[in-house]
Amino acid sequence: DGKGGARNVPIDLSSRGYRWCRTCRIVRPPRASHCPDCDNCVLRYDHHCPFVNNCVGQRNYHFFFGFVTSVLCLAIMVLPVLFWFLNSDNFELAVDGLMHVSSGFLQPVFYGLIACGALIGIAVLLSAVLWFYHVFLIATKRTTKEFRRSIDNIAEEPTLCAARGPRLFDPFAMVDP
């Protein structure tokens, strides 16, 4: 039972923001938090991302930001190409080559492409909002969790530009059953 562990945190560490994690039964650094999805304590915990199914924190925040940037760039690049294709002569030639216009099949294809364009437009907007939100977090040196709890007194280095920190375990070590 890890409930009584808070008494074991030295006062000098407690005064600097170190806390006891009841689940992991360890002393947590100030910006670390326990992720209920991964069941781990994560250094400089930002959030648990359902899209990559992983915690985002100190050692992988820049990879997550690169992923969000890539998704935004892809969505921005696909949208004009789709509109260019719909307005080009190639679209009419492709449709005429695949089917006869008199068959009435042109309208569903055209409307399907318009629907794809609308979905990509929504993806651009949502990706841009997420990207700008994380740019704001980087500029204010906060994590998502700290922003949601309105914690402003962060004096540490920024999340994205910080060093990744040491590995806390050896991934190549043999695991004892």
Angle between helices 89-98 and 61-87 (to 10 degrees): 80
Helix (H, G, I), strand (E, B) or coil at 55: strand
Decide: 55 and 68 in contact? Cβ < 8 Å.
Answer: no
Burial of 123 (0-12, 13-18, 19+ CB in 10 A): middle
Told to judge if 49 belongs to the known catalytic residues of this protein, a careful annotator would answer yes
Taking each helix axis from N to C end, the angle separating 106-140 and 61-87, rounded to the nearest 10 degrees, works out to 150
Q: Which residues contact 131 (CB under 8 A, 6 or more apart)?
A: 68, 69, 72
CA dist., res. 49 & res. 155, Å (int)? 25
The answer for residues whose C-beta is within 8 angstroms of residue 101's C-beta and 6 or more apart is 95
Catalytic: which of 24, 35, 49, 116? 49
**Catalytic residue ranges:** 49
